[in-house]
Amino acid sequence: MSRTRRATSPVRSLSWTEEWSRPSQYDFPVSPRRLALVAAVAVVVFIADRLTKAWVTENIPVNTARPVIGDYVRIVHAQNTGAAFGLLPERTTLLSVLSVVAVLAIVYYYRRIASNSALVSATLGMQLGGAFGNLLDRVTQGYVVDFVDVGLGDIRFWAFNVADSSIVVGIFVVTIALWYEERRASTTKIA
């Protein structure tokens, strides 16, 4: 009876920290100018969000509205304990954790996006600034101050703020921009 030895592989598996920090085939160099643009836009959105929320908190009592453009657009003072559009009410801890995960995901995947576009960088900055703005509210107050109220009569959209609109617009624009860049790159390869 012969014994066969199982060959051992000299390759070791990477720990999750090594895997996280390891460059991949999808990594693209991020220029310092694009990184500065992301940071600058994030700071501007964060400051605009903080200033508008502070103004609303100081000048408008909770659950009251002031018309801006007739009944179509109003400034309200709402304290939202949920996510955007009032989803997941009273889930401050969960939403705070999800906000941190979203920020980390944006930072991590930024270097993996095959784009050196200023538009993509700016929209990622919008998302970061908005995520930080709402995260700070959740951690310090347990709720997010929402104040833009749009609708007609009793038909109203959920109140939102600068951070919410920056996140939503940022996601929409970056999706369209990346789709357009990918489409343009594939037609260039074909031609």
Runs of H (alpha helix) within the chain: 16-21, 32-59, 92-110, 118-141, 162-190
**pLDDT tens profile 5-17:** 555 555 556 555 5
What is the gyration radius of the CA atoms in the chain, in angstroms? 22
Burial letters for 136-147: b for 16+ Cβ neighbours within 10 Å, e otherwise?
Answer: bbbeeeebbbbb
The structure's pTM equals 0.73
Catalytic residue set: 146, 164
Cα 175 → chain centroid: 12
Residue 107 tokens read as: 């930072």
**pLDDT tens profile 125-177:** 999 999 899 989 988 988 889 999 999 888 888 889 999 999 889 889 888 88
Nearest to 158 by CA among 38, 45, 99, 76: 76
User: Which residue do the tokens 């997010």 mark?
Assistant: 144
Q: Is the confidence at residue 64, as pLDDT, over 70?
A: yes
Which tops the pLDDT comparison, 181 or 40? 40
Q: What angle do CA 26, 127, 85 make, to 5 degrees?
A: 125
76-85, 92-101, 141-150: range with highest mean pLDDT: 141-150
Which tops the pLDDT comparison, 93 or 72? 72
**pLDDT tens profile 47-63:** 999 999 999 999 999 99
State how far the Cα of 134 lies from the Cα of 97, in Å rounded to an integer. 12
